[in-house]
A and B are shown apart, each in its own frame.
Chain A
Amino acid sequence: MKCKEVNKLLVAYLDNEVTPSERALIQAHLAWCDTCQQELAALSALRSRIGQFLQLRAAHAAPSPQAWSHLQARLVRATYPTRFQHLMRTIQGFGQAFRPVVRMKQKFILAVIAALLIVTGTMVSTLPIRAKVAEALACWFQPDFFRGRFKIIMPSSYIDFTPLRPTYLPASLIYSYEESIRGNFRQVYAGKTWFVEIVQSRATADRSLPSGQRVSIGNQVGVLNTGLQGKLKITTRFKFGVKEYTFTDGKLLTWYADELKIEMLSDLPLEEILRIAQSMVPGEVR
């Protein structure tokens, strides 16, 4: 046996944990090897010193006199849980009980979701269905041409009537804008040098009209006020940026069309205003 091999077994030799044959080989080696003898002596001394140290240190160590009472209290808490602990355990128990079911059904649920996505995708990609979906979405998402984005129509801004829209507008029309605010429906149509602002609301019971010049709009009677002055500011990211219309001869036309009260303000000539007013027909909110 070489020194290296003996060295690895010296601790086990001192602990009487070597086989008889190993013991014989080690002893034969130690008989002539001074280095291993010294190593054995050092390890033996260290071994007994460590043992003494551990015994001495443990001799002074003792658990506190309250150890048992502390454990008892903990056992009582564990045996008779508080209402909160009991509730938490019940919830955990439910979670544990349903876990296998959830695991089992996880793949099934994923398969159903995947199937639904495929079916929905196929349906939406066909034109007639896509049109229906767009129509449904339009109830909630209104194109906001004014600001160049879609806006979500909140229920509070819903109008409970079908508004009218002009079927005639001057050819120089550049942009249009619609919005629903607090039960009113507002439309703005504008060209570079003109604008039309129409506000529609549900007619009140008295169907009162302001004083002014009476005009006929189809089979309805309206009131026209002229010579109005003011400004209309339009902010858009498209084409104009900010556009301000200053008018000195603005015309306000007010009339009723069935359940609706309509007010139209414009700086267009009177003939154009009347033509637009007469062209108005019911149309769903886009």
Chain B
Amino acid sequence: MELIRRCQAGDEQAFADLFHQYKNLVYKIAYLMLDDADEAEDVLQEVFFQVYKSLPTFEPAKGAFTTWLYRVTVNECINRRRKHRLLTINLEKVSPLALADHPSFPDQLEDEEAIRQALSRLSEKLRAVVILRYYSGLSYAEIAQILNIPVGTVKSRLDLALKTLRKELEAAQCAFPLKEVAK
């Protein structure tokens, strides 16, 4: 809070500190949302540029700074995904040759790629709730506040997202989660 107050007072060093304190949070969320390092870098720049411009009018009483930061980040990512409709590479279409060249390709890595693909095929809204919940560990109420939607919507989006992911992974014959179920 003190850092925010100093930023609002025009302390440039405070803004630098704020950037370094939150840059990883913003970058990682953007990276997971967009699945692209360059895009995530752009989002980081854009988010903090917006923060810099909007900080003078930011009112801590209306909500936590991190909630606001998450909101700006997620919105920027959603807008970018909608604008660019980032191309997602289908592993099944691209990788057979690569996999054939590496017979010892570990199952674990195949699963990783399958999960990445399944996540990238989720809509922006579903992807956002999955990341905020299972990466950031935010509560449904916090996610609802960030996305400005009712808690019930968060609940239904997460339910839909997990079930969609499960279908995708089963279709991709992913070793997981069936392995776990077998236990």
The interface of chain A, by Cβ under 8 A from chain B, is 8, 10-12, 15, 17, 38, 41-47, 49-51, 53-58, 61-64, 67-68, 70-71, 74-75, 78
Nearest A residue to B115 via CB reads A53
Q: Is B5 an interface residue (CB 8 A)?
A: no
Apart from A15-B158, A49-B115, A58-B32, list 8 A-B contacts with CB within 8 A.
A11-B162, A38-B181, A45-B181, A50-B134, A53-B116, A62-B27, A63-B40, A71-B49
Nearest A residue to B179 via CB reads A45
What A residues does B131 contact at CB under 8 A?
54
What A residues does B41 contact at CB under 8 A?
63-64, 67
Q: Is A54's CB under 8 angstroms from B181's CB?
A: no
Q: Is B135's CB under 8 angstroms from A55's CB?
A: yes
Complex Cα spacing A70 to B45, Å: 8
Q: Is A50's CB under 8 angstroms from B130's CB?
A: yes
Q: Is B95 an interface residue (CB 8 A)?
A: no
Q: Is B32's CB under 8 angstroms from A41's CB?
A: no
Q: How far is the CB of B175 from chain A (nearest CB, A)?
A: 10
Q: Is A50's CB under 8 angstroms from B165's CB?
A: yes
The 8 closest A-B pairs by CB, nearest first: A45-B180, A45-B177, A54-B135, A61-B31, A51-B134, A58-B28, A63-B27, A46-B177
Q: Is B135's CB under 8 angstroms from A51's CB?
A: yes
Complex Cα spacing A50 to B176, Å: 10
Complex Cα spacing A187 to B16, Å: 87
Which applies to chain A's interface (DSSP): helix, strand, loop or mixed? helix
Q: Is B68 an interface residue (CB 8 A)?
A: no
Q: Is B159's CB under 8 angstroms from A12's CB?
A: yes
**Which of B37, B48, B134 has most A Cβ within 10 Å?**
B134
Q: How far is the CB of B27 from chain A (nearest CB, A)?
A: 4
Which applies to chain B's interface (DSSP): helix, strand, loop or mixed? helix
Partner of B45, one of A10, A38, A56, A67: A67
**Contact string, B112-150, partner A, CB cutoff 8 A, digits 1/0?**
100110010000000000110111000110000000000
Q: Is B81 an interface residue (CB 8 A)?
A: no
Partner of A12, one of B158, B179, B181: B158
What B residues does A61 contact at CB under 8 A?
27-28, 31-32, 37, 40
Q: Is B85 an interface residue (CB 8 A)?
A: no
Q: Is B166's CB under 8 angstroms from A43's CB?
A: yes
Q: How far is the CB of A1 from chain B (nearest CB, A)?
A: 16
Nearest A residue to B42 via CB reads A70
Q: How many interface contacts (CB-CB < 8 Å) are there between A and B?
A: 109
Q: Is A50's CB under 8 angstroms from B32's CB?
A: no
Q: Is B58 an interface residue (CB 8 A)?
A: no
Q: How far is the CB of A42 from chain B (nearest CB, A)?
A: 5
Q: How far is the CB of B90 from chain A (nearest CB, A)?
A: 18
Q: How far is the CB of A133 from chain B (nearest CB, A)?
A: 56
What B residues does A42 contact at CB under 8 A?
166, 177-178, 180-181
Q: Is B72 an interface residue (CB 8 A)?
A: no
Complex Cα spacing A15 to B20, Å: 31
Complex Cα spacing A90 to B48, Å: 25
A-B contact pairs, 5 of them (CB 8 A): A46-B165, A49-B176, A54-B135, A68-B20, A78-B49
Q: A53-B116, A68-B19 in contact; A12/B155 too (CB < 8 A)? A: yes
Q: How far is the CB of A92 from chain B (nearest CB, A)?
A: 16
Q: Is B66 an interface residue (CB 8 A)?
A: no
Q: Is B32's CB under 8 angstroms from A49's CB?
A: no
Nearest B residue to A60 via CB reads B31
Q: Is A74's CB under 8 angstroms from B45's CB?
A: yes
Q: Is B181's CB under 8 angstroms from A63's CB?
A: no
Q: Is A75's CB under 8 angstroms from B52's CB?
A: yes
Complex Cα spacing A222 to B44, Å: 96
What B residues does A53 contact at CB under 8 A?
112, 115-116, 119
Nearest A residue to B20 via CB reads A68
Q: Is B23's CB under 8 angstroms from A63's CB?
A: yes
Complex Cα spacing A70 to B16, Å: 12
Q: Is B153 an interface residue (CB 8 A)?
A: no
What A residues does B67 contact at CB under 8 A?
none
**Contact string, B14-31, partner A, CB cutoff 8 A, digits 1/0?**
001001100110011001
Complex Cα spacing A70 to B27, Å: 14
Q: A38-B181, A57-B32 in contact; A46/B162 too (CB < 8 A)? A: yes
Complex Cα spacing A61 to B45, Å: 16
What B residues does A68 contact at CB under 8 A?
16, 19-20, 23
